[in-house]
Amino acid sequence: MTDLKLDIYGVGILISGYEKTLFKLGKDFSYFKRDFEGRGDYRIHIEHTKKVDYSLIPEDAEPIFTHPEFFMYQSGEKKCIDYCGRGISVYDPRDKQIRLYSPDKDLQHEIAYLAVISSAGELLEKRGYFRAHGMGVKYGEKTAIMLGSSGMGKTRLFLGLLKDPDVSIYSDDILLLDKKRNLFPFPLRIGVKAKSELPEGIDKSLVYEMNRRKYGKKILLDTSAFSDRIAPPSQPSTILIASRWNSEGFKYRPASRIKVFRMLIRDMGIGYGLPQLMEYMNLSFKLSGFPGILIRGFRRLILIFSLSLSGKAYYIYLGRDSDKNTQGLIDLLEKT
């Protein structure tokens, strides 16, 4: 396989190196695979090694951050990360390049995936796009976004909705909006805990898996399985705030604008729940970058206000029966 090139709304990312990991990353980001000229905005190189080579971290490197899953060191402008004996990566912010060295294929896949999301997210915001943790779908002419904590059954609901031919998709995990409240497609791989959760009749070549450091094994589905169901950009008409409740069925009630604002502050303003690779964040604050941070923060806040006051808002309560959740949400969207 040649180098993998991704164009994420104008952010070019070039990924090179170990072919088997590039193959899986190509499935993760199949919607964004396209050629571009030059080296791109970010480069990621994956080196499959026989063992972890600690000589990649200079002896004079200073320890700057400790985390249960990694140790970070800095040598000049470069940041070196030791993934607790599973791999080493070196990030050079001057040429926007990440080099990952590891014998662990699952670690390679996980780190490279998060590196793409993190690096693209940084540049997208500078170019006027803002991300939030949530699900986005279109039902007929109605566009809905759903906010809520991880693990409540959002993906299962998302796959259930796709059984209805009138449903098209934006994303099951990351919402991407511009300052005019336009929601853009951001379909990434879909992850479930077991193959039995996948829709029937899915091409087996689109199903693959990985074993994550913290959350264990995940069955993944290439969203090209739904390439004909991608929704066009549009403004959300309904905002849903989801939670679980101890019942078989589905219910809903109107939500206050204040609650919507608070949820958007959490999921968009703070970015709670967004997949990030915190070890590549620029931990050394520079005063020269402060005005840009303030401007982007102000723009994000304006968008949050605008979304909070637009359309209709509901609390939805997801029960144990996924089919009832799916039908209940479709009934709600029909009524609104």
Confidence of residue 283 (pLDDT cuts 50, 70, 90): very low
Strand partners, 192: 219
Instruction: Identify the pLDDT of residue 249.
Output: 92
Domain range annotation of the chain? 4-127, 132-187+230-335
pLDDT at 30 over 90: yes
pLDDT at residue 280 above 60?
no
Predicted confidence band of residue 101 (pLDDT cuts 50, 70, 90): very high
Question: According to the model, what pLDDT value does residue 296 have?
Answer: 78
The 3-class SS string of the chain reads CCCEEEEECCEEEEEEECHHHHHHHHHHCHHHECCCCCCCCEEEEEEECCCCCHHHCCCCCEEEEEECCEEEEEECCEEEEECCCCCEEEEECCCCEEEEEECCHHHHHHHHHHHHHHHHHHHHHHCCEEEEECEEEEECCEEEEEECCCCCCHHHHHHHHCCCCCEEEEECCEEEEECCCCEECCCCCEEECCHHHCCCCCCHHHEEEEEECCCEEEEEECHHHHHHHECCCECCCEEEEEEECCCCCCEEEECCHHHHHHHHHHHHHHCCCCCCCHHHCCCCCCHHHHHHHHHHHHHHHHHHHHHHHCCEEEEEEECCCHHHHHHHHHHHHHHC
Q: Are 179 and 267 in contact (CB under 8 A)?
A: no
What integer pLDDT is reported at residue 312 of this predicted model? 94
Which one of 111-125, 138-152, 227-241, 280-294 scores highest in mean pLDDT?
227-241
User: What percentage of the chain carries pLDDT values higher than 70?
Assistant: 95
- 132-187+230-335: in CATH 1.10.1660: no
Residue 126 confidence class, pLDDT cut points 50, 70, 90: confident
pLDDT for the residue 278: 54
pLDDT band at 37; cut points 50, 70, 90: confident
pLDDT per position as a tens digit, 41-67: 999 999 999 999 999 999 899 998 898
The values of phi and psi at residue 131, to 5°, are: -105, 155
Over 80: is that where the pLDDT of 222 sits?
Answer: yes
Residue 152 has pLDDT above 50, yes or no: yes
State pTM to two decimals: 0.91
pLDDT in tens, 302-336: 999 999 998 899 999 999 999 999 999 999 999 87
Residue 29 burial class via C-beta count within 10 angstroms: exposed 0-12, middle 13-18, buried 19 and up: buried
Residue 290: its pLDDT value, please?
Answer: 59
What's the whole-number average pLDDT of the chain?
Answer: 90
